[in-house]
Chains A and B, each alone.
Chain A
């Protein structure tokens, strides 16, 4: 499968569900990083080597490489889709990863080797006590970079966007929405006229600044707008 950093696949667990999953490894072998959050991901956690899943894709647009120095800001499993990009980015790399607690920090060892890494945990069990955005804000004060790439809880990404707009720095964020078809026709993942599955999942600051629902509203399975 020929995929770009930031693209996703639809993963089918027969008899259970089909869910969009970002690729955390691309290249000869592809991989996904799965957190238990629902029926489908629980079923994946119960699988053993040799068990099979169905896959279609890759879908979506992926990140665009820009500039010579980048800051990556990730919350929780949001680091997973950023990993192929971080590996591919040839310029200078700074990364902030945040998690609720130290056991939930993933890709830490690899990131220590390939980036200048900053870590935050909500409970202070590792690194800075607080949110990834607080740490990012501190980095904004002392460092300069060409672009910020972010993925994680949408409230966090909205803060990153505001920070970038204030400072005139380019940014790209990978969004998540309830997805059904995955190919841009059912309109389930629409956000202000953009389909996260096809026009996204990655959007840049120029588009995000125009998307009123970003950081505020998402849609449930029935298509009703609900608060994020």
Chain B
């Protein structure tokens, strides 16, 4: 009932773990055994310490983070995942240019089912959302040479233009959206809290933005979309899928609920049953047709 297929990858349910959450170490990822797929922490060619603390703070509605793409570098990270017991592992990678993207992708691709290109981290210099839109297509084209399906993760900013470029390069799916560029100031110190000052806003508050982005991409292009942003329960998954998502990812929810996957899947099945659907694929994009 919940089985889906995205760019040739079969998942027993559409609920994936988003990049950046509990996915630096092998054993932490293996604990999410009920997820449809796991996306790794974003990995680059060389190790990165990330930003100074604070890298996290809570807001009235959701959370802010600026971890700063900390990762041990692709060679070290491969040692982490080469014996991992996860059926659908997807590598999130970042790079400052197409050659860096290609190098990381080439090294990591034998160990994963697909590559997710992070073109949307909202607080890193020259990578993520600062990656030039008109260079996305050649970077995707390069990563496609690994032979693995390529997902491109985009943020809300300029998303249709960036999606078009990714599709031109041969993207197999678009992942939308990333956290939203944001800031919190501590009024007692009159100072931004995050070490990097600017971070990414995620959680409940960004869900309507994510749903809109998925809807617009689905309306304009014909390729699988993976929805992410503020999903807190099964109803949110359904909303994203009605907007056109073939699968979804969960991130911030892990802050509030450590192991939400099994519960969400159970509730999805109950909802589908109650509403007369035999497969979750039957609800994909139904809101687009109205």
Q: Are the CB atoms of A223 and B71 closer together than 8 Å?
A: yes
Interface residues on A, range: 20 to 34
Since A183-B56, A184-B255, A188-B70 are in contact, a sample of 8 more A-B pairs with Cβ atoms closer than 8 Å, ordered by chain A residue number, is A10-B54, A54-B193, A56-B58, A183-B255, A185-B254, A186-B24, A186-B67, A221-B49
- Interface readout for B60-96 with A: 1 if CB under 8 Å, 0 if not? 0000010100111100100000000000000000000
B52: interface (CB < 8 Å): yes
Segment 1-42 of A: residues with Cβ below 8 Å from B:
10, 12, 14-15, 17-19
Q: Are the CB atoms of A52 and B24 closer together than 8 Å?
A: no
**CB < 8 Å neighbour of A193 from B28, B47, B49, B53:** B28
Q: Are the CB atoms of A188 and B24 closer together than 8 Å?
A: yes
A222 and B28 in contact, given A19-B53, A180-B56, A180-B67 (Cβ under 8 angstroms) = no
Q: Are the CB atoms of B73 and A222 closer together than 8 Å?
A: yes
Q: Min CB distance, A212 to chain B, in Å? A: 10
B55: interface (CB < 8 Å): yes
Q: Min CB distance, B106 to chain A, in Å? A: 21
A70: interface (CB < 8 Å): no
The CA-CA distance from A106 to B58 in the complex, in Å, is 35
A181: interface (CB < 8 Å): yes
A221 and B255 in contact, given A12-B193, A182-B56, A193-B27 (Cβ under 8 angstroms) = no
Q: Are the CB atoms of A186 and B55 closer together than 8 Å?
A: yes
The CA-CA distance from A88 to B20 in the complex, in Å, is 39
A119: interface (CB < 8 Å): no
> Which 5 pairs, one residue from A and one from B, show the smallest C-beta to C-beta distance?
A193-B27, A18-B53, A187-B24, A224-B72, A181-B56
The CA-CA distance from A147 to B181 in the complex, in Å, is 49
Closest A residue to B190 by CB, please name it. A14
**CB < 8 Å neighbour of A192 from B27, B56, B72, B255:** B27
Segment 189-233 of B: residues with Cβ below 8 Å from A:
189, 191, 193, 195
Closest B residue to A181 by CB, please name it. B56
The CA-CA distance from A192 to B31 in the complex, in Å, is 10
Q: Min CB distance, A132 to chain B, in Å? A: 30
A185 and B22 in contact, given A14-B186, A222-B70 (Cβ under 8 angstroms) = yes
A14 and B70 in contact, given A182-B56, A187-B28 (Cβ under 8 angstroms) = no
B41: interface (CB < 8 Å): yes
Question: Interface residues, chain B, CB within 8 Å of chain A?
Answer: 20-25, 27-28, 30-31, 41, 47-50, 52-58, 65, 67, 70-73, 76, 186, 188-189, 191, 193, 195, 252, 254-255, 258
A190: interface (CB < 8 Å): yes
Residues of A within 8 A of B193 (CB): 12, 54
Q: Min CB distance, B58 to chain A, in Å? A: 8
Residues of B within 8 A of A220 (CB): 49
A18 and B54 in contact, given A183-B255, A221-B70, A223-B41 (Cβ under 8 angstroms) = yes
**CB < 8 Å neighbour of A14 from B65, B67, B191, B255:** B191
The CA-CA distance from A52 to B187 in the complex, in Å, is 13
Q: Are the CB atoms of A221 and B50 closer together than 8 Å?
A: yes
Residues of A within 8 A of B50 (CB): 180, 221-222
**CB < 8 Å neighbour of A18 from B24, B47, B188, B195:** B195
Residues of A within 8 A of B53 (CB): 10, 12, 17-19, 180
Closest B residue to A16 by CB, please name it. B52
Residues of A within 8 A of B41 (CB): 187, 223
The CA-CA distance from A17 to B51 in the complex, in Å, is 10
Residues of B within 8 A of A18 (CB): 53-54, 195
Q: Min CB distance, A41 to chain B, in Å? A: 13
